[in-house]
């Protein structure tokens, strides 16, 4: 999965995606085993809570729920839209994500791996 916590994404499917104004938001948490992401302000639900120390009056709170990774695209600041993402190795051996449209780098995935020397 090429989406990380803190990335900016565009919601392309669901109730938060419209043709005129795509929702652009930050990823709060990633769930790789379920292939889901928690996006700030997207897929809001009401949760009814009983009175407790944390919520002395109880009531309803609004919280985000995870959405599928297939429903979001990584946002490219150069293209200013959601784009498909690829992986490539740089000459120094680091692996990075890049925009398939404009070939701009979107951040390093992994540092250069050390080569084990056998003796």
Higher pLDDT, 35 or 114: 35
Question: Cα–Cα distance between 111 and 11 in angstroms, integer?
Answer: 29
Question: pTM for the full model?
Answer: 0.79
Q: How does residue 114 score in pLDDT terms, banded at 50, 70 and 90? A: low
Q: Is the residue at 23 inside a domain?
A: yes
- Domain limits for position 60: 8-84
pLDDT in tens, 39-83: 999 999 999 999 999 999 999 999 999 999 999 999 999 988 888
Is residue 19 domain-resident?
A: yes
If one counts the domains in the chain, the total is 1
Question: Does residue 99 lie in a domain region?
Answer: no
The helix (run of H) or strand (run of E) holding residue 31 is: strand 23-31
Residue 28 inside a domain? The answer is yes
Q: Is residue 110 part of a domain?
A: no
Residue 70 lies in a domain: yes
How distant, in Å, are the alpha carbons of 28, 53, 54, 80, 92 from that of 2?
Answer: 15, 39, 36, 18, 21
Handedness of CA 51, 56, 58, 64 (dihedral sign): negative
**Domain with 70 in it: what CATH number?**
2.30.30.30
Amino acid 33: pLDDT: 95
pLDDT at residue 119 above 60? no
Of the candidates 72, 2, 82, 18, the one whose C-alpha atom is nearest the C-alpha of residue 40 is 72
In a domain, 73, yes or no: yes
């Amino acid at each position: 999965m090429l989406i990380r916590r803190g990335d900016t994404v565009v919601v392309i499917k669901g109730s938060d995606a419209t043709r005129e104004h795509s929702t652009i938001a930050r990823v709060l948490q990633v769930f790789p085993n379920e292939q889901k992401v928690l996006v700030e302000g997207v897929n809001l639900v009401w949760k009814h809570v009983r009175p407790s120390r944390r919520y002395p009056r109880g009531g309803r709170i609004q919280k985000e729920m995870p959405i599928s990774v297939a429903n979001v695209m990584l946002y490219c600041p150069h293209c200013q839209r959601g784009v498909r993402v690829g992986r490539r190795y740089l000459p120094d051996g680091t692996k990075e994500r890049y925009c398939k449209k404009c070939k701009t780098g979107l951040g390093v995935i992994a540092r250069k791996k050390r080569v084990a020397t056998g003796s």
